[in-house]
Homo-oligomer: A and B are copies of this chain.
Amino acid sequence: MDSNTWGKIFRLTTFGESHGKAIGGILDGCPAGLEFDEAFVQKEMNRRRPGQSDITTTRNESDEVEFLSGLFEGKTLGTPLGFIIRNDDQRSGDYENLKHVYRPGHADAVWDRKFGFRDHRGGGRSSARETASRVVGGAIAKMLLKTYGIRIHAYVSKVKHVELKTPYQDIDFSLTEKSIVRCPDEAISDKMIAVIESARNSGDSVGGTIDCVISGVEAGLGDPVFDKLDAVLAHAMLSINATRGFEMFRGFESTGLMGSENNTITTGIAGGISDGHAIVFRTAFKPVSTIAQPQQAMTNSGEEITLEAKGRHDPCVLPRAVPIVEAMAALVMADMVLRMRSDRI
């Protein structure tokens, strides 16, 4: 129940299966009078789009967003923005042989257990295709945040064991989009690409981490006790497909420090509320579940089979996940800036 809506004031509700007619959503609660930049939305979509580079899936979808409401004379009306993205490159036939198969690492089995049946084509609703709608919502959120001076920059910080160790303060975020792996360091980026290509060549896949830096944030955002800003960011990040962990700055490392050391470090959030510094967090992505190697799998009748995946898949989701991390972060922050309007008399 009630699982396809994000946010309390600035609210995104999404719909759509991977191989249905369309995916899309409704963005409700966006204040009226926001200058709307439709080209920017499409630009964000293109960052998430399949087929954008040599290390992503060759599935080719134009992912054109059509806005149906909520806009007038170039500005938001204060009414809900409905939008759709047609699924134009559906090779449903690729999946016919998967109708009764539960792919390892995928949600196929649990969807059957939960709902009694499922749309098996491309993972149906469990497909990461759904995140395209989030990128649309996130792009609108970014437009709102821009009026507050808030900027969001995510980048791939680790692929398998290749890690970018530069402190975030020293990173030139303008380099991120110049790298097809979306790592803002050319040398590290090349190593990451090599790891991804090697995985693909062996019919396998790799994971990694994405760091995200939110800057320009005034103090006071976030709503304790349950909606602490970091808690809501964690919720947002873990709601993205294939994520497995979240930490504020170097949260797991900080467990090894003494209090006297750690007290001098800020994550941008104190007690669940932004403190005026940049907010920095990291999200862990597991290796993609779909691999080209033969794997043992189960069918829905309990039979063991050997599965050889067809379809066209990413050997590493991280490059395309960068705009999704940013989109979810933007949705969180947009909601919070509006919620903050009721903090004081």
Using a CB–CB cutoff of 8 Å, the interface residues on chain A facing chain B are 1-6, 8-9, 11, 13-17, 20-26, 28-29, 31-34, 66-73, 75-82, 84, 104-107, 109-111, 113-119, 124-126, 130, 144, 147, 158, 160-161, 199, 204-209, 219-221, 223-228, 230-239, 241, 243-249, 251-252, 254-264, 267, 270-276, 284-291, 293, 295, 338-345
Query: Once bound together, how far apart are the Cα atoms of A249 and B244, in whole Å?
Result: 8
Query: Once bound together, how far apart are the Cα atoms of A20 and B80, in whole Å?
Result: 12
Q: How distant is A266 from chain B, measured CB to nearest CB, in Å?
A: 9
Query: Once bound together, how far apart are the Cα atoms of A21 and B82, in whole Å?
Result: 10
Residues from chain B with a CB closer than 8 A to the CB of A147 are: 345
Chain B residue with minimal CB distance to A247?
A: B245
Residues from chain B with a CB closer than 8 A to the CB of A208 are: 255
Residues from chain B with a CB closer than 8 A to the CB of A13 are: 5, 13, 26, 28, 80
A69-B23, A251-B286 given; A260·B28 CB < 8 A: no
Beyond A1-B8, A105-B270: 15 further Cβ-contacts under 8 Å? Answer: A16-B82, A21-B69, A25-B26, A32-B114, A78-B115, A107-B224, A107-B271, A209-B252, A245-B251, A245-B255, A247-B247, A251-B286, A259-B290, A263-B289, A263-B295
Q: How distant is A130 from chain B, measured CB to nearest CB, in Å?
A: 6
Is A273's CB under 8 angstroms from B77's CB? no
The one of B6, B33, B232, B273 in contact with A116, judged by C-beta atoms closer than 8 angstroms, is: B33
Chain B residue with minimal CB distance to A158?
A: B255
The one of B73, B77, B267, B284 in contact with A255, judged by C-beta atoms closer than 8 angstroms, is: B284
Residues from chain B with a CB closer than 8 A to the CB of A113 are: 219-220, 273, 275-276
Residues from chain B with a CB closer than 8 A to the CB of A241 are: 271
Is A206's CB under 8 angstroms from B68's CB? no
A224-B126, A247-B284 given; A72·B118 CB < 8 A: yes
Is B255's CB under 8 angstroms from A24's CB? no
The one of B115, B119, B124, B258 in contact with A287, judged by C-beta atoms closer than 8 angstroms, is: B258
Is A15's CB under 8 angstroms from B79's CB? yes
A69-B17, A343-B78 given; A251·B244 CB < 8 A: yes
Q: How distant is A149 from chain B, measured CB to nearest CB, in Å?
A: 14
The one of B21, B161, B251 in contact with A68, judged by C-beta atoms closer than 8 angstroms, is: B21
A1-B8, A21-B68, A345-B32 given; A286·B271 CB < 8 A: no
